[in-house]
């Protein structure tokens, strides 16, 4: 009898220890491990987080990507892969390089913006955030062969919808562009414009390669705050914040600027993250429930710059509205 009681006590203890471990369980970076993913564009749609990504292939030795995936979660720990929501096979006018996408919602429809071939961008539409998406216009929305002002590489679309309902499409590589979208989200409204990034003295920061400087990206490409790629715009306390990458080198990372106007100019404010072990920096920022989060990618799973993996960490603002520099964590975030 005594022996049985002892065993029951032991079982109960083990059970309580397991419960304790589970209640302390936290998410872990990278958040997606079964496939390679990059360029996380996170959104909260109907109270759930959706992350739209480039899908790096298993044997990639370049950004030779063919489709895009979306992942969703209601706790930032358990993620559902909704599969390939759109692919090059769904586009009649493009054959290669399915790069960093974004998605926006208007009146219950979801609009998926995507760059292809480093020269063009399109828009697809679905009734659900998880697709499947269909090419909405059967041709590019932006094409630098027709419109050289779109810049040398019109990639990395990012859509921001302001409180008054106006949608803005940002994009570019080394040169940042913007165009307003019509209410229908699939047509442009007005001309393309340059978005300027300025330093605190008001000087415009332009990309310029200085081949003599090998190491320091800030000096090599035109000074602190110069625009590389990966724009992402959000609003915080009435100001417009632009997250972007300052280029490609061991010291490159995600940085940001602030503006009073979504059209810019954005004043360069500093780093958002310390550099990660990856040649590209591309991320997004959202508010989910009471906290802010930054999504980004590393190459931790593969140690290969073309086989990346997305991560998430908390983002913290200082009292004055500046952003505290995030150091990427292994444990990620948990809502518990």
- What tokens were used for 230? 């990966």
How many Å apart are CA 251 and CA 217, to the nearest integer?
A: 6
- Residue 52 interacts with ligand FUB (CB under 6 A): yes or no: no
CB nearer to ligand FUB: give 123 or 230: 230
Q: Hunting for tokens 């490609």 — which residue is that?
A: 248
Q: Is 296 in the site for ligand FUB (CB under 6 A)?
A: no
Q: Is 99 in the site for ligand FUB (CB under 6 A)?
A: yes
Minimum distance from CB of 274 to ligand FUB (Å)?
18
Q: Is 100 in the site for ligand FUB (CB under 6 A)?
A: yes
- Please identify, using beta-carbon distances, which residue of 99 and 221 lies nearer to ligand FUB: 99
**Residue 23 burial (10 A CB sphere; 0-12, 13-18, 19+):** exposed
Secondary structure of 244-262 in HEC code, one letter for each residue? EECCCCCCCCEEEEEECCC
Q: Which of 39, 56, 90, 313 is catalytic?
A: 39
| Binds ligand FUB by CB under 6 A, chosen from 253, 259, 280, 284 | 280
Retrieve residue 205's tokens: 């920061």
> Rounded distance, CA 157 to CA 170, Å?
6
- 63 sits near ligand FUB (criterion: CB under 6 A): yes
Count of beta carbons in the 10 Å neighbourhood of residue 336 = 11
Residue 245 CB neighbours (<10 A): 23
Q: How far is the CB of 26 from ligand FUB (least distance, A)?
A: 27
- Annotation marks residue 39 as catalytic: yes
Question: Which residues from 30-49 bind ligand FUB, rule CB under 6 A?
Answer: 38-39
| Cβ neighbours, 10 Å, residue 228 | 26
Which one of residues 136, 179, 230, 285 is an interface residue with ligand FUB (CB under 6 A)? 230
Instruction: Look at residue 15 and give its three-state secondary structure.
Output: helix
Nearer to ligand FUB, 68 or 241 (CB): 68
CB atoms inside a 10 Å sphere around CB 213: 12
Binding test (CB under 6 A) with ligand FUB, winner from 282, 283, 285, 309: 282
* Residue 156 within binding range of ligand FUB, rule CB under 6 A: yes
Instruction: Tell me which of 90, 175, 229, 313 is the catalytic residue.
Output: 229
User: Would you say 120 or 282 has its CB closer to ligand FUB?
Assistant: 282
* CA distances for 191 relative to 136, 138, 152, 186, 229, angstroms: 20, 21, 17, 15, 21
Nearer of residues 68 and 240 to ligand FUB, judged by Cβ: 68
Q: Is 53 in the site for ligand FUB (CB under 6 A)?
A: no
- Would you call 90 a catalytic residue per the annotation? no
User: CA–CA separation, 278 vs 225, rounded Å?
Assistant: 19
Task: Tokens for 156, please give them.
Answer: 């990395």
20 three-class SS: helix
Report the nearest approach of ligand FUB to the CB of residue 147 (Å).
Answer: 19
Burial label for 55, CB within 10 Å (0-12, 13-18, 19+), is buried
Q: Decide if residue 155 touches ligand FUB (CB under 6 A).
A: yes
Determine if 130 is a binding residue for ligand FUB (CB under 6 A): no
Interface with ligand FUB, residue 175, by CB under 6 A:
no
Q: How far is the CB of 279 from ligand FUB (least distance, A)?
A: 9
Residues catalogued as catalytic: 39, 229
Interaction site with ligand FUB (CB under 6 A): 38-39, 54, 63, 99-100, 155-156, 229-230, 280, 282
């Amino acid at each position: 009898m005594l022996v049985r009681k002892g065993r029951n006590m032991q079982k109960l203890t083990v059970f309580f220890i397991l419960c304790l471990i589970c209640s302390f369980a936290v998410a872990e970076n990278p958040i997606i491990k079964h496939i390679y993913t990059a360029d996380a564009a996170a959104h909260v749609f109907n109270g759930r987080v959706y992350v739209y990504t480039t899908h790096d292939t298993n044997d990639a030795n370049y950004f030779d990507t063919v489709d895009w995936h979306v992942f969703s979660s209601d706790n930032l720990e358990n993620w559902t892969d909704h599969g390939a929501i759109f692919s090059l096979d769904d586009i009649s006018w493009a054959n290669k390089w399915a790069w960093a996408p974004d998605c926006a919602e208007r009146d219950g429809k979801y609009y998926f913006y995507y760059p292809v071939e480093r020269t063009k961008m399109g828009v697809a539409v679905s009734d659900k955030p998880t697709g499947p998406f269909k090419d909405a216009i059967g041709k590019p929305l932006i094409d630098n062969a027709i419109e050289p002002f779109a810049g040398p590489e019109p990639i990395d679309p990012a859509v921001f919808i302001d409180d008054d309902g106006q949608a803005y499409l940002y994009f570019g590589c080394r040169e940042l562009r913007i165009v307003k979208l019509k209410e229908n989200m699939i047509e442009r409204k007005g001309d393309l414009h340059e978005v300027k990034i300025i330093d605190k003295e008001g000087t415009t920061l332009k990309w310029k390669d200085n081949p003599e400087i090998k190491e320091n990206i800030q000096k090599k490409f035109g000074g602190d705050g110069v625009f590389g790629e990966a724009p992402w715009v959000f609003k915080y306390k009435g100001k417009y914040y632009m997250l972007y990458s300052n280029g490609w080198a061991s010291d490159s990372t995600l940085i940001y600027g602030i503006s009073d106007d979504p059209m810019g100019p954005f004043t360069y404010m500093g780093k958002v993250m310390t550099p990660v072990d990856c040649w590209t920096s591309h991320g997004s920022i959202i508010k989910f429930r009471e906290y802010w989060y930054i999504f980004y990618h590393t190459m931790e799973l593969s140690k290969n710059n073309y086989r990346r993996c997305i991560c998430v960490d908390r983002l913290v603002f200082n009292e004055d509205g500046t952003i505290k520099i995030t150091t990427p964590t292994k444990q990620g975030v948990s809502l518990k």
